[in-house]
Amino acid sequence: MCGSDRGDRLVFLEKEMSTSPDGEAIIQFQDVTKIYPLPGGDVVALDHVSLDIFYGDFIAIMGPSGSGKSTLLNLMGCLDTPTSGRLFIKGRDVSSMSDEELTGLRRDHIGFIFQQFNLIPLLSALENVQYPLILKTGERTCTARCVEVLKSMDLEEPLYSHKPSELSGGQQQRVAIARSLVNDPEILLADEPTGNLDTKTGSSIMALLKDLNEQEKKTIIMVTHDPNVARFAHRTIRIVDGKII
């Protein structure tokens, strides 16, 4: 890695995060409820959910559409905050954190992998991977780290300068995974990572995630419909109507 953490605003996060409430849980839901107020009446997306996820876990979340599995993932990723209950990420209560602190947490400790890949269309593969690193270090020079991560995703160098539209779905997802890994986060959150890929490409992506979990000890939480994909995980959480069953 080159460059140092930009500013001091994240240093305190590192300190406080070394102590988690029960030592092992990296993510802890305590009686979490999430309600979306809609004009037609409130929608309860999560209903008093309690859940512990430990360091090094590989978890699949399954459930029918609208069951609240994406909400669960979004809360873990600090993209959203609970309506009630407490959510600890690396030992810190998310509801007590400012928007800026949550942003820092996402940037340095959480990697996102989306079904739609969600690469920035105007940037090349390499620039897409570079982006989170630049957000963290404020420097543009760190290409070595990005190339290293892209290489570990089995992507060939000539592709690095391609725009996302010039890559296949599998290649785009590999770039997206490289982007999620570039800041070396402990947690990877994947929302239907194989949902837009054919079976063969899907299983190679899953092999890659399994490898990251086993070799790099990444904690992976993955939302999926597909039982074949869920088999890669250590355990599967089923959720129906906002409740874990």
E-strand ranges in 108-186 read 110-113
Residues 109, 115, 121, 124, Cα dihedral to 10°: 60
The one among 90, 92, 174, 179 contacting other proteins by CB under 8 A? 179
Instruction: By CB under 8 A, tell whether 156 contacts other proteins.
Output: no
Instruction: By CB under 8 A, tell whether 132 contacts other proteins.
Output: yes
CB closer to other proteins, 59 vs 178: 178
What is the x/- site pattern for other proteins, positions 33-72, by CB under 8 A?
----------------------------------------
CB closer to other proteins, 1 vs 120: 120
**How many residues line the site for other proteins (CB under 8 A)?**
29
Q: Could you give the C-alpha distances from 64 to 46, 121, 224, 238, in angstroms and in order?
A: 14, 31, 10, 9
The CA distance from 243 to 245, in Å, is 6
User: Would you put residue 63 in left (φ > 0), alpha (ψ -120 to 50) or beta?
Assistant: left
Instruction: By CB under 8 A, tell whether 145 contacts other proteins.
Output: no
- Shortest Å distance, C-beta 188 to other proteins: 12
Site for other proteins in 66-105 (CB under 8 A): 74, 77, 79-80, 99-100, 103-104
User: Would you put residue 90 in left (φ > 0), alpha (ψ -120 to 50) or beta?
Assistant: left
Those residues whose C-beta lies under 8 Å from the C-beta of residue 237, and which sit 6 or more positions away, are 51, 59, 60, 61, 62, 244
Q: Helix crossing, 143-152 with 169-181: angle to 10°?
A: 130
CB closer to other proteins, 45 vs 59: 45
CB atoms within 10 A of CB 138: 12
CB closer to other proteins, 53 vs 181: 181
Instruction: By CB under 8 A, tell whether 106 contacts other proteins.
Output: yes
Instruction: By CB under 8 A, tell whether 142 contacts other proteins.
Output: no
- Region from 40-48, 111-119, 145-153, 206-214 binding other proteins, contact rule CB under 8 A: 111-119
Residue 79 burial (10 A CB sphere; 0-12, 13-18, 19+): middle
Instruction: By CB under 8 A, tell whether 172 contacts other proteins.
Output: no
Using CB under 8 A, list all residues that contact other proteins.
74, 77, 79-80, 99-100, 103-104, 106-108, 112, 118-123, 127, 130-132, 134-136, 140, 179-180, 183
